[in-house]
Structure 1
Amino acid sequence: MTALITPFKNGKIDQESYAKLIKRQIKNGIDAVVPVGTTGESATLTHEEHKICIQIAVDTCKGTATKVLAGAGSNATHEAIEFAQFAQNQGADGILSITPYYNKPMQEGLYEHYKAIANSVDLPVMLYNVPGRTGCDMLPATIFRLFNDCPNIYGVKEATGSIDRCVDLLAHEPNLVVVSGEDAINYPILSNGGKGVISVTSNILPDKISELTHLALDERYIEAKAINDKLYSINKIMFCESNPIPIKAAMFIAGLTPVLEYRLPLTPPSSENLKKIEAVMKTYDIKGF
């Protein structure tokens, strides 16, 4: 699955480029796209823009084998419910819901937050735990409780960067769908029983991330590891500055977006890091449209 960037042009969503990028993902074997997650700069989109991105993704994937796992999180439960219900009404296949950021709820608050979201829709719900971004860590006990109490909560995007956490989750609840949210450790998570990845790098190399994931799921671990090792350099450089600064720069360098534009407070990468990104990219075969 690809955590889609959101291309901008003159301060607005470049809707034409967005649909074009999604078609490229479909063409290169991605199983699902994830609009308006962290990589999509959801924190600086208006509610209307957030909904436009979901709608474009659903419309573009319609009639294909590629699913839409719509970003539908917020630090306010009522807003997360609104996004979840909108995604369902538009025809998304599931939702990805980040832990509330900034207000630092307790574990009971997280439980009630996600229970309310899950009860508001019929869609499958994937939890999203990324404490480095949110200041909030959803502990395994809370994840297990939600998994057992809410039939449509089926898995978690695990982005703590901890292999130990992934082992803990799957050792105690093997039926939980654990998805890698950290490109550098996609292979270790998959080989430990993870069921997929939500990737930043697959914006630029969807074919390679797809191949890696499917090889691992087919238990062809040596081949999968070889790809993961080859991708290590680009996976690391994509986080030389805050995501999605490097990946958007890479997409522009590759000619996949017409302009390089961010929403403040995000800014373009430093000239030094831009040169590093460009140098690393030269070692990979990046498919065009």
Structure 2
Amino acid sequence: MFRGSIPALVTPFRDGMVDEAAFRAFIDWQIAEGSTGLVPCGTTGESATMSIEEHHRVVSVCVEQAAGRVPVIAGCGSNDTMVALQHMRHAQAAGADAALVVLPYYNRPNQDGLVAHFTFLAEQCDLPIVIYNVPARTVTDISVETMGRLAELPTIVGVKDASGVPARASAQRLACGTDFCQLSGNDDMALGFMAMGGVGCISVTANVAPGLCAAFQAACLDGRWSEALALQDRLYPLHAALFSDASPGPTKYALSVTRPGFPTDLRLPMTWPSAASRKAVDEALAHAGLI
């Protein structure tokens, strides 16, 4: 259902508001550069700082602008199951192709709680669900066994795996089946993840280097591993630099360099990256041939 390079889109803010015109132009550029899907209102999109009304508007704009050219996986997660359901119902009405639903954060539910959360959402809304496992942010980690149980539900179709454990791709492939869509959530680990059965990456780096990330994913999917490795070498410093300070600060700084005029305001508590982080981004952009 989903494959290739799928940017977790930044949200352009200007003077405290979402800049819809800039967002639409950014979406067009991403598609023109070869991105094969879009994720609005993910972590990189600063969804934690949006009102529900803003969140829903950003999803709607993304779906409208994509206009069926690529699938839209709308960020719909919350640590409140009912809010997640509200997001999913809106995303479905707006025409999104799937919901990206992060494990409930802060509450720290046990494995039975995770099963109950995702089962309830799947029963109340038939929009396909991609589970988002990112223990570094949520603290909670979904076990392979639990994911296997959830994969039996017809609308739970895949995972964005940001566990930081590349071998999960193999374990989850055995537990969930070969049709379960596994997307890497870590740009720097995507090469190994793809070799073990992944079919794409929900990417931060693709915000800045969509063409290179699309070429990397295409090489992996075609089994052109030497080309993929060369692109990994070219992109790896950028993968690291974009997390050299709190994300998405370094990514918005990179866009300020490569796309002058793009709105790069951050919402508190996010702040502009440090001088050391900006230097790392500059060097990585040069290494990648983007400046």
Alignment of 1:178-197 (within 5 A): 178-197=182-201
Q: Which amino acid aligns with 1:277?
A: V
Alignment of 1:272-287 (within 5 A): 272-286=276-290
- The TM-score with structure 2 as length reference comes to 0.94
Deviations 1:60-93 (A, max 9, x none): 01142x1111001100000000000100000011
Task: Report whether the alignment pairs 1:16 with 2:24.
Answer: no
Of 115-124 and 78-87, more deviation after overlay is shown by: 115-124
1:274 Cα offset (Å): 1.2
Q: Is the 2:8–2:45 contact (alpha carbons within 8 Å) kept by the matching residues of 1?
A: yes
Deviations 1:15-58 (A, max 9, x none): 11111111100101111000000100111111011001101100
- CA distance, structure 2, for counterparts of residue 116 and residue 81 of structure 1: 9
Match of 1:226 among 223, 230, 246: 230
Deviations 1:122-169 (A, max 9, x none): 222100000101111111111110001x10101110001111222221
- CA distance, structure 1, for counterparts of residue 73 and residue 128 of structure 2: 9
Which structure 1 residue ranges, 5 or more long, are not aligned?
Answer: none
Q: How large is the RMSD of aligned CA atoms in angstroms?
A: 1.4
- The TM-score with structure 1 as length reference comes to 0.95
Task: Report whether the alignment pairs 1:50 with 2:26.
Answer: no
Of 88-97 and 163-172, more deviation after overlay is shown by: 163-172
1:257 Cα offset (Å): 4.6
Alignment of 1:67-86 (within 5 A): 67-86=71-90
Match of 1:159 among 159, 162, 175: 162
| 1:124 alignment partner in structure 2 | 128
Number of residues of Structure 1 aligned to a counterpart in Structure 2: 285
| 1:30 alignment partner in structure 2 | 35
| 1:98 alignment partner in structure 2 | 102
Deviations 1:198-217 (A, max 9, x none): 00000011111111111211
Q: Is the 1:21–1:256 contact (alpha carbons within 8 Å) kept by the matching residues of 2?
A: no
**Local SS of the residue matching 2:203:** coil
- CA distance, structure 1, for counterparts of residue 287 and residue 232 of structure 2: 15
Task: Report whether the alignment pairs 1:243 with 2:243.
Answer: no
1:220 Cα offset (Å): 1.6
Task: Work out which structure has the larger RCO, using CA pairs closer than 8 Å and 6 or more positions apart in sequence.
Answer: 2
- CA distance, structure 1, for counterparts of residue 271 and residue 199 of structure 2: 34
- CA distance, structure 1, for counterparts of residue 200 and residue 115 of structure 2: 24
Q: Which amino acid aligns with 1:92?
A: A
Q: Is the 1:215–1:224 contact (alpha carbons within 8 Å) kept by the matching residues of 2?
A: yes
